[in-house]
Amino acid sequence: MTENSFPLIGDNLPEMKVQTTMGEKNLPVDYKGKWIVLFSHPADFTPVCTTEFYSFAKKKEEFDKINTELLGLSMDQVFSHIKWAEWIKDNLDQEINFPIIADHGQIATKLGMLHPSKGTNTVRAVFIIDPKGIIRLIMYYPQEIGRNVDEIIRSIKALQYADKHNVAMPENWPNHPLLKDKVIVPPAKDVQTAEKRKEEYKDSCYDWWLCYKDME
């Protein structure tokens, strides 16, 4: 990470001590060996954010199955987070079953969650962090548009599969309109490999640079 900039894909998540609704946490140390979805929301007691938190909490078991922890964040005090979580449970019958970070601006600034055109609240940022503490994916949404929780789950599954099998993932994997649930063989990096590629994958190549195979 360069000086005076926020972290980018491939950078380590900066070490931070944070206050949450479930106690003090040390990032990313306390989550070693786990994937993390760290996501910011503009403010507690706002309608779009409430729909997002409801969906994140509703799908907590799906995140658990893929070894992933959730961490919310906004620049509200911890008592506001607690009261908002109580409201969601009392009125929408959904417990907020993950920590929410109470930030005073330092974390949001460090992670690039404050965008001048969107005022003093955080935008809807999503950081997907791997078990080694490396940032693998970043998404930014404006305050007026809610996120797609299923897309975040899909992205984590794709990253995990790509890491394990050294492949790339097509658009909307595993439901691509052309390749279905097939995965992409990384393109050849030298002439010799390129010449062999179409023979090696003769029934599953459009060209040497676009070959695919079944999931393992």
> Residue 117 pLDDT > 80, yes or no?
no
Question: What DSSP character marks residue 180?
Answer: B
Give per-residue pLDDT as tens, 154-200.
Answer: 999 999 999 999 999 999 999 999 999 999 999 899 999 998 998 89
Confidence of residue 125 (pLDDT cuts 50, 70, 90): very high
pLDDT of residue 120: 75
Across the range 42-71, mean pLDDT stands at: 97
Domain boundaries, the chain: 16-147, 166-216
> Residue 1 pLDDT > 60, yes or no?
no
> Which residue is catalytic, options 13, 18, 36, 49?
49
Confidence of residue 202 (pLDDT cuts 50, 70, 90): confident
pLDDT of residue 2: 41
Burial environment of residue 216 by CB neighbours within 10 A (0 to 12, 13 to 18, 19 or more): exposed
Active-site residue flag, 49:
yes
Across the range 64-70, mean pLDDT stands at: 98
pLDDT of residue 6: 83
The answer to whether the predicted template modeling score (pTM) of the entire model surpasses 0.85 is: yes
Q: Please, what CATH class does the domain formed by 16-147 belong to?
A: alpha beta
* Largest pairwise CA distance in the chain: 64
Q: Give the list of residues 6+ apart from residue 85 with CB closer than 8 angstroms, or none.
A: 21, 53, 95, 96, 100
Chosen CATH of 166-216 out of 3.40.640.10, 3.30.1020.10, 3.30.420.40, 3.40.190.10? 3.30.1020.10
Confidence of residue 121 (pLDDT cuts 50, 70, 90): confident
Q: How far apart are CA 81 and CA 58, in angstroms?
A: 18
Sheet hosting strand 210-213, strand order edge to edge: 183-185, 210-213, 205-207
pLDDT of residue 118: 66
Across the range 72-80, mean pLDDT stands at: 96
- Lowest pLDDT segment from 65-69, 132-136, 207-211: 207-211
pLDDT of residue 3: 43
